[in-house]
Amino acid sequence: MPVDIAPEIRFRTARSGGKGGQHVNKVETMVEGLFDIAASALLDEKQKHLLFEKLKTRINKEGIFSVRSQAERTQLGNREIVVKKMNLLINKAFIPDKKRKKTKPSKAAKEKRLSEKKRMAEKKENRKKDW
């Protein structure tokens, strides 16, 4: 079941770079979404632990998960992008990783590797000078 963290996201704005000309220099369109995982009432302890594990590169020392957007020219547009991105990342983190199935190289692959090895050995052998 997907989790919607939108009610618990805090937003911070700043001046954005990119398109907009003079408008960009006077309007705060860049939006940063901040979500305190530890203080969340929407998530249980198991989910919080999983998020800290899987999203550790996006979580700061205080345990705040943050995402930025400055793709749109409006603050509202960037705000929507941030909410979608955060919900997507969090719900993706809840999907369990697939176990790796052990495989062995096929007989044909082994034979190809050995024949290639022999061919290279012969090539190098032919490079030797006879005295």
Check if the beta carbon of residue 68 is closer than 8 Å to that of residue 18.
Answer: no
Confidence of residue 20 (pLDDT cuts 50, 70, 90): low
Mean pLDDT, range 15-39, rounded to an integer: 83
Phi-psi region of 122 (alpha: psi -120 to 50; beta: other; left: phi over 0): alpha
HSE toward the beta carbon, residue 36, CA cutoff 13 A? 7
Q: How many helices (H) and strands (E) does the chain have?
A: 4, 3
Q: Mind listing the pLDDT tens digit for each residue in 83-124?
A: 999 999 999 999 998 999 999 999 999 999 999 999 999 999
> What is the per-residue pLDDT for 3?
86
Mean pLDDT across the chain: 90
Check if the beta carbon of residue 31 is closer than 8 Å to that of residue 78.
Answer: yes
Mean pLDDT, range 51-73, rounded to an integer: 91
Check if the beta carbon of residue 35 is closer than 8 Å to that of residue 44.
Answer: no
Above 90 in pLDDT, residue 26? no
Question: How far is C-alpha 91 from the chain's CA centre?
Answer: 13
Report d(CA 119, CA 18) in Å as an integer: 56
Q: pTM above the 0.75 mark?
A: no
Strands of the chain, DSSP E: 10-14, 30-36, 64-69
Mean pLDDT, range 21-36, rounded to an integer: 85
Mean pLDDT, range 10-24, rounded to an integer: 80
> What is the per-residue pLDDT for 131?
64
DSSP state of 51: H
Phi, psi of 92 (to 5 degrees): -70, -35
